[in-house]
Amino acid sequence: MSADLLEALAALTTHILNGKVPATICPFLYGASLTAFIKKDGGIRSIAVGCTLRRLAGKVVSRVMAEMGAQLRPEQVGCGTRGSAEAAVHASRLFLSRINAECQVVLKLDFKNAFSTVFRGRLLAEVKKALPVYFNFVSHMYSQLSILVYGDQVLQSARGVQQGDPLGPLLFCLVTEKLSKSRKSDFSCWYLDDATVGGDVDRVIVDFQRVVHHCEVLGLELSMDKCEIFVFGGSRKEQLTTKSLAKAIFPTVTTLTTLRAFQHTWDLPIVEKNFSEVLQASSSTEKARMLTVSTKESGAWLNSLPASCLGNLLDDDSLRISLVSRPTVLSVLRLRACSKKSGRELRITREKEDPLNFSDSVLVWTYRGEMLPVFWEPFHSLAV
């Protein structure tokens, strides 16, 4: 890329960020083409793919996410926080693992198309307070109707941020910052539009009512049939009383009897119904990858493959997943053979003498010169 082109791109990006784009150009520069994906429930998830130049400017602004992350934490970890998903999961598991003499609840909230429905007026007001230097840029994008093109149809969008906008997560987090920080419960964790609150049932109810109120102001709506509640701690009688109270307050919310973190079924197929058909139509590589993330704990198929075949069929990420999730069915020698045949280095450090006891072991995976420590503890998320 020539120096002249780089200078021209830098000048144009600065022009866009300063909000100096002519009004007649804005609908086209800040519009987008739509791609529709089918959701699990049969709904449609629309992804807006905007102009490359506009997205480039958005990426420049998104560099402030690291700074904004400190402002949004500790409640909101979905923006500007490294390892955010892991942080949310482990924080939830830590809260659930506490020994509680009193009955506690955990409520997971789900919003309907949150990114696409938030009021833009509220969005712009929060941007003006938190990021005034970029207000003109964001205002050009969201102060007027957005032109979205799907095939030969032209749609106009008046609410929400575009799912595909590099700034989308940051803007959404700014809009919901007050809501995420207004909790009364002992535990509150947000990952973008996925929220979890936990603690005493009375405080959780207060937080729920506060969320419902803020939804009306922000343009959000809870998907009550997708929200989930889990009761733990205290006596059996207290749990039954709390569940009855929760049922009265949240009649359509699913009450979980247990969490996957406490179950011993791992890697169950997400879509068992169509899995066999997809498997038959796939290549050997794709078969191996899908089996890696879908086969149950027995791992019988792993032992039926030669070590060299296993290492060659799986890419690095899939192989690491298979090893970490099934420590009880793979021996140390097999791991070493697999790593050697596939051109990968593997070093196992054990604190116990038993070579098949991996409970306190650490597997160090060396790939392209990078040391990647992997613990044998299976990774689970909260109520998903």
Whether residue 299 contacts residue 321, with contact meaning beta carbons closer than 8 Å, is answered with no
Assess if residue 231 is contained within a domain: yes
Among 15-19, 32-36, 350-354, which stretch is predicted with the lowest mean pLDDT?
Answer: 350-354
Cα 121 to Cα 62, 127, 261, 365: the distances in Å are 21, 10, 40, 49
Q: Show the tokens assigned to 59.
A: 């990426």
Asked if pLDDT for residue 374 goes beyond 70, the answer is no
* Across 166-173, average pLDDT: 90
Question: How far apart (Å, rounded) are the C-alpha atoms in residues 150 and 36?
Answer: 9
Assess if residue 367 is contained within a domain: no
Residue with more model confidence, 163 or 341: 163
Domain that holds residue 211: 3-256
Is the C-alpha dihedral spanning 133, 135, 140, 141 positive or negative?
positive
Assess if residue 125 is contained within a domain: yes
HEC string of 46-99 equals: EEEEECHHHHHHHHHHHHHHHHHHHHHCCCECCCCCCCHHHHHHHHHHHHHHCC
Phi, psi of 345 (to 5 degrees): -100, 140
Among 52-66, 171-185, 301-315, which stretch is predicted with the lowest mean pLDDT?
Answer: 301-315
Q: Which amino acid is at 201?
A: V
Whether residue 115 contacts residue 193, with contact meaning beta carbons closer than 8 Å, is answered with yes
Assess if residue 344 is contained within a domain: no
pTM: 0.66
What does the DSSP 8-state code read for residue 307? H
Is the C-alpha dihedral spanning 167, 170, 174, 179 positive or negative?
positive
Cα 248 to Cα 5, 244, 252: the distances in Å are 64, 6, 9
Reported as a pLDDT band with limits 50, 70 and 90, residue 368 is very low
Number of compact structural domains in the chain: 1
Q: How does pLDDT run across 217-275, given as a tens digit for each residue?
A: 999 999 888 899 999 888 889 999 999 998 888 888 888 876 654 443 333 333 344 44
Assess if residue 131 is contained within a domain: yes
Question: How far apart (Å, rounded) are the C-alpha atoms in residues 160 and 243?
Answer: 35
Whether residue 96 contacts residue 259, with contact meaning beta carbons closer than 8 Å, is answered with yes
Q: Which residues of the chain form beta strands (DSSP E)?
A: 32-38, 44-50, 104-110, 146-150, 153-157, 187-191, 194-199, 228-232, 254-256, 345-349, 362-367, 370-375
Assess if residue 322 is contained within a domain: no
Would residue 38 be called left, alpha or beta, if left means φ above 0 and alpha means ψ between -120 and 50 degrees?
beta
Assess if residue 230 is contained within a domain: yes
* Mean pLDDT score of the chain: 74
Phi, psi of 180 (to 5 degrees): -65, -30
Assess if residue 8 is contained within a domain: yes
* Across 355-373, average pLDDT: 40
Whether residue 54 contacts residue 29, with contact meaning beta carbons closer than 8 Å, is answered with yes
Q: How does pLDDT run across 58-83, given as a tens digit for each residue?
A: 888 887 777 788 888 889 988 888 77
Residue with more model confidence, 156 or 322: 156
Residue with more model confidence, 90 or 277: 90
